Structure 1
Amino acid sequence: MFHKKKALSKKVNTEFGDILLTGPVSSNQLSELEIHSQLHAFRPPLKQLEALKEIASLDEGRILIALDQNLIIGYVTFLYPDPIERWSKFQMENLIELGAIEVAKEYRGSHLGSKLIELAVSDPFIENYIIISTEYYWQWDINETKLSVWDYRKIMEKMMNKGGLLPAPTNDPEIMSHPANCLMVRIGQNVTEQDQQLFDKLRFLNE
């Protein structure tokens, strides 16, 4: 079971005033908050809030949020990989996925995304885990930012780097389907050599 007892929080001074970064938050805590109308990259905001509540209720689910007063303006999610994906094939209890990260467009100049990831990995217990993030260009809001695929990829990579996630090779067909896609990985200091080898096998499955 994924450890989520340690409460993390940090205040960040921005042009909008102090923004509170905090988590992991519970489903009940999320019920008391509002969600910014610009958090719609994956689904409409209110449905996204319901999805966050569902993740927060999972044993392994971890949600960290950025708050402007009572308004969620950003979030990052951690949970086990989807059962239909290769990353859950070996059912590694210490393999967790950074599933989604989103910050409301008007707040993006404050680097809240990278700060949320930094906060998430500041829990020493994270060193027991392998964290992955699967980056697919079709999930990026390129139209809103007007950036090229490659410029957006650089931004995503830089943001993940703040949490210690680095690009790692894999033969996963979805990731290999476009050169901008990538697998980002952070291997905790306490992960055994045996689990690292199992993860290497997972990255290069013989389909």
Structure 2
Amino acid sequence: MEHKQTYYSRSLEFDGRSLFIEGPISGRKIHDYDFHEGLVAFRPPEEQKKALIGIADLPEGRINVVVDGNTIIGYVTFLYPDSLERWSEANMDNLLELGAIEIAREYRGAKIGKKILEFSMLDDAMEDYIIITTEYYWHWDLKGSGLSVWDYRKMMEKMMNAGGLEWMATDDPEISSHPANCLMVRIGNRVDPDSIVQFDAVRLSNRFFY
């Protein structure tokens, strides 16, 4: 599949000033931006910035960012599922994983996460893909948010719903290991029926053994 990259941008009001959502952006552009020191959910900020540059430069990689001045304060990534995950077994070039979404803590509360997901789906090319996200409670900022695991789960579901992702059942062992974990999926309107069957076979690979 040809991976089309149509650049989009829009402004976003926050605390009396304008932020900027843009993407998909290149690794070079990420390099030229500063990276907010509060983006620490996955690894130290400088290391995460390098990781995002690497994703942006992958053939299928897509990164959308929220920028305040010259500083990235939030981002979302889309790429092929990790080769160690069940989802890569589908061997589909039209299956993308929402790998990470993060907003610096001081910018939370303004629904920026929902807005960057809505923005991401403005790209017409997304209609060619099945997009998944795997939500694991151990990745959530329960301490920083002050939310219970179930309230955080509700918040994550609402945010993903803004990007058109809906809960789907799966027998993936890691997701099934805790009831708060979940798989969420968005099927683009140009995805062919055979691809959906292929995806379902991986999503519920043990269904005949129940």
TM-score by length of 1: 0.97
**Alignment partner, residue 92 of structure 1:** 92
**Alignment partner, residue 34 of structure 1:** 34
AA aligned opposite 1:8: Y
Structure 1: 4+ residue segments shifted above 6 A: none
**1:172/1:2 CA distance change after superposition, 3 Å:** farther
- SS of 1:147's equivalent in the other structure is coil
**Alignment partner, residue 167 of structure 1:** 167
**Alignment partner, residue 125 of structure 1:** 125
- SS of 1:109's equivalent in the other structure is coil
Contact 1:170 1:183 in 2 (8 A): yes
CA deviation profile, 1:85-117 (whole Å, cap 9, x unmatched): 110002100000000000000101111111111
1:9-88 to 2 correspondence within 5 Å? 9-15=9-15, 17-88=17-88
Q: What is the percentage of aligned positions where both structures have the same residue?
A: 53
**Alignment partner, residue 7 of structure 2:** 7
CA RMSD of aligned residues (A): 1.1
**1:16/1:109 CA distance change after superposition, 3 Å:** farther
AA aligned opposite 2:136: Y
AA aligned opposite 2:107: Y
Deviation at 1:2, TM superposition (A): 5.6
TM-score by length of 2: 0.96
Deviation at 1:4, TM superposition (A): 4.0
- SS of 2:202's equivalent in the other structure is helix
In structure 1, stretches of 5+ residues that fail to align are none
- SS of 1:89's equivalent in the other structure is helix
CA deviation profile, 1:124-147 (whole Å, cap 9, x unmatched): 111110000000000001111111
Deviation at 1:16, TM superposition (A): 5.0
**Alignment partner, residue 197 of structure 1:** 197
**Alignment partner, residue 186 of structure 1:** 186
Contact 1:4 1:62 in 2 (8 A): no
Deviation at 1:205, TM superposition (A): 1.2
Q: Relative to structure 2, which stretch is displaced further, 9-18 or 87-96?
A: 9-18
Paired with 1:123 and 1:63, the residues of 2 have a C-alpha distance of 12
Contact 1:166 1:185 in 2 (8 A): yes
**1:4/1:111 CA distance change after superposition, 3 Å:** farther
In structure 2, stretches of 5+ residues that fail to align are none
Q: Relative to structure 2, which stretch is displaced further, 113-122 or 70-79?
A: 113-122
Paired with 1:2 and 1:126, the residues of 2 have a C-alpha distance of 12
